[in-house]
Structure formats: structure tokens, C-alpha cells
Homo-oligomer: A and B are copies of this chain.
């Protein structure tokens, strides 16, 4: 199985992105799994285009995108992406869309086509907190998940796709004054590898 695994670069004033740090360390958890790793810019449009190009090039069986969801306590597997961009902060190129669709001709929402519940169960069985999330937000993460699923629906009928959000890592929250949950990078890696195992 060929898996295209993506993560974003740092954004919103952070100097690291735990998704990107995890991506570096993740190893294929099974001999028949090939991981193609791609770091994408935290930019509306450009992130989806980068993943689309990689999909055309590598023809993966699965596209799994990883992003940071600061403030969450668990690794969360997203259920649905929505056709809405509404940014509270600018992306890494200064874009800040409001009330715009990701694709004007897209459906309101697309469900993940990955086994969301099985992935959550697998992470939890590894002793790591996990949950389903029913909203990937309205920033670049949701835009990428939506874009990938849009392209899958239109061009790649044999590819499955989905998104996983990871919490902050401790080095990020250690300087915050407001109580904010985090998860060790080692546990992010172990949790994500556990999720890969059930794809």
C-alpha cells in the first residue's frame, strides 16, 4: 500500500509544527506499506495544489494529511471537511479568506474515506489519547482535507483520503501562560503509526 503522508510547516507565530516534526519520525509500520512524505505550506490553495501534484505523480492508495490543532488533548481523526474557508488569522502568504468556498462546484461537505473509528481505536489501544473530530475548522487544514477529498471524488476513484489533527507538543505550551494541553512528540509518532496500521 502506497501512502502519501503530508504535514504543514509552522504557522500562526509558532516556530515548529508538531505535524511536521511527527512526519519526520514516522516509519512505515508494515513491510508492505510505502510512505511518501510531503511537507506542504500553510497556505490556502498552494497546499492543495502541492498535494494534488503529488497525487498525480505518485498515484497513492491513501492520502493522509496531518495538521496541528492547538488546544486539543488528543490525536483527532477528522470525520468531514466542509466547503468553507473563513480564516481568523492570515495564512503563511497573508491570505485571509472569509466565507469563501474551497471549490465553487464542490459539495457542502465530504466525509473522510478512511476508517475513522478504527484509527481512533488503534491509537487508543496503543495507550495514546484519541478521538473523532467532527470539525476540521475553517482554516488551511480543512481546506486541504476538502481539496484532497474533492480531487479524490473527481479524479482518483481508487484513492482514499483523510485528515488527522495533532495537539501541541510540550515545547510549544511550556511558554504559554494559559493552561493548554500538549502531547509528547514520541506519542504523536506512536499514535500516528498505530493509525497507519489499520488503513
Measured between alpha carbons, how far is A128 from B182 in the docked complex, in Å? 10
Verify if A138 is at the interface (C-beta below 8 Å from B).
yes
Measured between alpha carbons, how far is A130 from B171 in the docked complex, in Å? 11
Contact A180 B73 (CB under 8 A): yes
CB-CB contacts of A175-199 with B at 8 A, as 1s and 0s?
Answer: 1110111111011000000000000
Residues of chain A in range 106-153 having any CB-CB distance to chain B below 8 Å: 107-111, 117, 123-124, 126-131, 134-135, 137-138
Shortest C-beta distance, A190 to chain B (Å), equals 9
Verify if A52 is at the interface (C-beta below 8 Å from B).
no
**Residues of A that sit less than 8 Å from B by CB:** 72-74, 79-80, 82-84, 88, 99, 107-111, 117, 123-124, 126-131, 134-135, 137-138, 170-171, 173-177, 179-184, 186-187
